[in-house]
């Protein structure tokens, strides 16, 4: 099957800290665009987390580490970033050439414009404002390898085997039918721990220029080769949930004579 998708153009970006990226086929990280800092990732209870700064614009940075092209079907708060539809594996996404790095900066409005991703109160998030707040606080990237191009043998040699889709038969259709259920399981899990209100979500920010072109991509299979998910919330909520552990401040030692300067003597010269 052929898929029409949007292909991100190459941009020059500062290298992200490898320790803050998640994934194998591709490395995914979250960048605070107002500071240019790649947000640290915290691993807790089987999940990766980042702390967003309320009001800040952010980007999802993806770098292709595979040997061939990858399709990245990307969701925010359970919604596809290209169409705004409830996210599923079979939808459109961005295509990355080998080694390509790109920042997805917003909800795509056209081939030349996006509405910026902004960290905001979950009640003001795009998902909340469109009546779909159930998955606020998660970023998902489903990665698909590209189907190899068919290699045709010379005429005197026996004809090649049928394409993979024909060989798969019913199993291929079963994968496609099960994809929505798998998407719901992988990208729409319930929160592990209740967070103080308000939770952080992703808003529909100001329009920005962002160029992309259409291309075709033939998926190797109906199910993604890898699914990456990153949870996010405010620093205060992540601390309250125990996701981020902050060092306890050292208590101040009481001074019995706070108004007196300590007695000073002549220090030794360098070298003793």
Domain interval for residue 79:
3-149+158-240
Long-range contacts from 261-266, C-beta under 8 angstroms, 24+ separation: none
Q: Is residue 38 part of a domain?
A: yes
Please report, for residues 74, 104, 212, 216, the alpha-carbon distance to residue 82 in angstroms, rounded to integers and kept in the order given: 8, 10, 11, 15
Q: Is residue 92 part of a domain?
A: yes
Total domain count, the chain: 1
Q: Is residue 112 part of a domain?
A: yes
Q: Is the full-model pTM beyond 0.75?
A: no
Q: Is residue 247 part of a domain?
A: no
pLDDT at 8: 45
Q: Is residue 272 part of a domain?
A: no
Binned at pLDDT 50, 70 and 90, residue 265 comes out as confident
- Give the length of the chain: 272
Q: Is residue 45 part of a domain?
A: yes
List b or e across 158-182, with b for residues whose CB sees 16 or more CB atoms inside 10 angstroms.
Answer: eeeeeeeeeeeeeebeeeeeebeeb
**Residue 130, pLDDT above cutoff 90:** yes
Strand extents, DSSP E, 77-199? 79-80, 94-96, 101-104, 106-110, 113-121, 138-145
Do 142 and 227 form a contact (C-beta atoms < 8 A)? yes
pLDDT at 163: 33
**Residue 196, pLDDT above cutoff 70:** no
């Amino acid at each position: 099957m052929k898929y029409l998708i949007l292909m991100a153009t190459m941009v020059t970006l500062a290298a992200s800290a490898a320790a803050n990226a998640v994934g194998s086929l591709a490395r995914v990280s979250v960048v605070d665009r107002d500071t240019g800092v790649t947000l640290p990732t915290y691993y807790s209870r089987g999940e990766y987390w980042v702390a967003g700064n309320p009001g800040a614009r952010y980007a999802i940075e993806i770098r292709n580490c595979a040997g061939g092209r990858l399709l990245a079907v990307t969701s925010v708060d359970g919604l596809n970033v290209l169409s705004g539809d409830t996210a599923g594996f079979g939808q459109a996404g961005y295509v990355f050439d080998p080694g390509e790095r790109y920042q997805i900066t917003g909800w795509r409005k056209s081939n030349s414009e996006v509405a910026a991703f902004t960290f905001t109160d979950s009640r003001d998030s795009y998902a909340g404002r469109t009546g779909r707040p159930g998955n606020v606080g998660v970023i998902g990237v489903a990665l698909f390898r590209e189907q190899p191009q068919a290699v045709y043998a010379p005429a005197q040699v026996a004809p090649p085997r049928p394409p993979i889709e024909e060989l798969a038969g019913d199993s291929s259709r079963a994968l496609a039918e099960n994809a929505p259920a798998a998407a719901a399981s992988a990208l729409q899990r319930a929160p592990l721990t209740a967070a103080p209100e308000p939770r952080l979500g992703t808003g529909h920010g100001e329009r920005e220029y962002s160029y992309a072109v259409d291309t075709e991509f033939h998926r190797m299979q109906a199910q993604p080769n890898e699914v990456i998910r990153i949870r996010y919330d405010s620093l205060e909520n992540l601390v309250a949930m125990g996701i981020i552990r902050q060092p306890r401040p050292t208590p101040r030692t009481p001074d019995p004579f706070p108004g007196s300067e300590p007695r000073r003597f002549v220090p030794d010269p360098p070298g003793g």
